[in-house]
Amino acid sequence: MANLQVRDIDDRLYEALKRRAEMEHRSVSQEVVLLIENYLAHDNKESERKTLSFLELSGSWVDDRSPEKIVEEIRSSRTKNTRGRDADELFD
């Protein structure tokens, strides 16, 4: 089994870990391992949830227009910015 050494840990963080471990009748080392395991398990579930949510969006936009037509409509709806063209005008 691998060993992990953490250096220069903040005293307040160590004390919080120590209190939490004592409350759960575990060593600080056991508590840290459990916290890391829980974090990694949660992180994987969250990543999977986000991936599934993204995949649900796949194909959800249906439009009869071609991509070129959509881009053309977006570009034609834009207005030209004239800010800063008049040298005497400080604010719009």
Each domain of the chain, given as residue ranges in start order, spans: 7-54
Q: How confident is the model at residue 43, as a pLDDT?
A: 73
> What is the per-residue pLDDT for 86?
61
The predicted-structure confidence for 31-88, as pLDDT tens digits, reads as follows 999 999 988 888 778 888 888 888 888 777 778 899 899 999 999 988 777 666 665 5
More confident residue, 29 or 87: 29
Q: What is the pLDDT of residue 42?
A: 80
pLDDT for the residue 25: 96
pLDDT band at residue 91 under the 50/70/90 scheme: low
Written in H, E and C, the secondary structure of 59-88 is CCCCCCCCHHHHHHHHHHHCCCCCCCCCCC
**Using an 8 Å Cβ cutoff, are 23 and 15 in contact?**
no
Q: What is the pLDDT of residue 53?
A: 86
